[in-house]
């Protein structure tokens, strides 16, 4: 069934993306087509110029598939198929109802937005889900963390929340024992290294999005954060992650950041009663209805937003 759903989403994506040619997709299509027949380094310059991003992983994949002659619509549809497959397999690992997982993949507003408009975030989400799937295997987990961050820097906010869960008790131990934990040192160096490499991108994005404290976007995300904490078996952990996300939304003020809050909510709520609970059901119905308007916009205007 899982493979069937993955294939189904591939063909649905081919249909929807064939008419989704405006918005961010217009830039991604232009960039993807410009990669054909040019070398890797020149392609990267064009990628930065057209997309305004220097996150390398998405570029490496897009350039590679473009050079192989794979049409952009097939490239994106394959990614959508892999995203659905990865999400369902992660959900099954946590004992979530397959029916709930499939309905989310097929009908949810945020999934459809990621399938279509949010191109780089889609690839970042795939690698983020893979990092969660391999969270018990340190080498694979850290590998996918690095790949995720260099695919879409926005996910570093989620990882920062996860890191704080580990850091806070370790700092207490450092003060009590007066010994520096080498894992904390490595983690700190890793954060500094990412900031150093992506400093220009970070500062540019902050300059673009920051327009003062945005309480409206924060209030939009608050119900999902509350539900996330409510359904979590580890409420302190969920509280820290959602606090970091809400703080980021207040500063950056981007509605697209709410996507991360939504997936944080899913992570905790789907583990409660196999995902068959009122929080998941109500949000599933609400965002399912919202996705209808999104698809109507695609048909009428060539984009969802």
Segment 84-135, tens digit of pLDDT: 999 999 999 999 999 999 999 999 999 999 999 999 999 999 999 999 999 9
More confident residue, 175 or 295: 295
| pLDDT tops 70 at residue 161 | yes
Domains of the chain, residue spans:
1-152
**pLDDT recorded at residue 186:** 56
Segment 66-85, tens digit of pLDDT: 999 999 999 999 999 999 99
Segment 190-214, tens digit of pLDDT: 556 655 555 555 555 555 555 556 6
More confident residue, 270 or 1: 270
Average pLDDT of the chain?
A: 85
Sign of torsion over alpha carbons 131, 136, 140, 145: positive
More confident residue, 55 or 104: 104
Q: Is 62 exposed, middle or buried (0-12, 13-18, 19+ CB in 10 A)?
A: buried
**pLDDT recorded at residue 304:** 77
Q: What is the largest CA-CA distance in the chain?
A: 64
- How crowded is residue 61: how many other Cβ atoms within 10 Å of its Cβ? 14
More confident residue, 292 or 218: 292
Q: d(Cα 302, Cα 17) in Å, to the nearest integer?
A: 9
Mean pLDDT (whole number) for 245-262 = 81
**pLDDT recorded at residue 59:** 94
In the block, residue with structure tokens 């003060």: 175
**pLDDT recorded at residue 264:** 93
**pLDDT recorded at residue 286:** 95
| pLDDT tops 60 at residue 240 | yes
| pLDDT tops 90 at residue 174 | no
Share of the chain above pLDDT 90, in %: 56
Mean pLDDT (whole number) for 22-51 = 90
Q: Which residues have C-beta within 8 Å of that of residue 210, sequence separation ≥ 6?
A: 251, 252, 253
- Under the banding of pLDDT at 50, 70 and 90, the label for residue 32 is very high
Cα 112 to chain centroid distance, Å, stands at 13
Segment 4-16, tens digit of pLDDT: 899 999 999 999 9
């Amino acid at each position: 069934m899982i493979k069937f759903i993955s294939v189904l989403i591939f063909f649905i994506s081919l249909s929807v993306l064939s008419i989704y040619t405006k918005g961010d997709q217009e830039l991604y299509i232009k960039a993807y087509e410009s990669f054909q027949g040019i070398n890797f380094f020149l392609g990267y310059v064009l990628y930065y110029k057209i997309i305004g991003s220097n996150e390398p992983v998405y570029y490496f994949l897009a350039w590679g598939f473009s050079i192989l002659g794979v049409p952009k619509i097939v490239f994106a549809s394959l990614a959508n198929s892999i995203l659905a497959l990865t999400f369902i397999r992660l959900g099954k690992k946590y004992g979530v109802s397959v029916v709930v997982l499939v309905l989310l993949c097929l009908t949810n507003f945020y999934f459809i937005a990621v399938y279509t408009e949010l191109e780089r975030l889609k690839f970042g989400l795939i690698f983020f889900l893979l990092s969660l799937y391999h969270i018990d295997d340190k080498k694979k987990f850290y590998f996918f963390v690095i790949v995720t961050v260099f695919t879409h820097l926005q996910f570093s906010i989620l990882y920062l929340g996860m890191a704080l869960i580990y850091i806070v008790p370790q700092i207490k131990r450092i003060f009590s024992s007066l010994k520096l934990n080498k894992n904390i040192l490595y983690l700190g160096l890793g954060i500094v290294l990412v900031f150093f490499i992506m400093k220009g991108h970070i500062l540019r994005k902050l300059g673009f999005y920051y327009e003062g404290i945005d309480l409206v976007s924060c209030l939009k995300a608050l119900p999902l954060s509350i539900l996330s904490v409510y359904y979590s078996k580890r409420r302190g952990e969920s509280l820290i992650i959602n606090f970091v996300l809400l703080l980021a939304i207040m500063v950056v003020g981007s509605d697209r950041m709410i996507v991360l809050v939504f997936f944080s909510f899913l992570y905790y709520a789907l583990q409660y009663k196999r995902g068959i609970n009122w929080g998941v059901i109500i949000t599933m119905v609400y965002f399912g209805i919202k996705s209808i308007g999104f698809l109507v916009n695609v048909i009428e205007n060539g984009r969802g937003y």
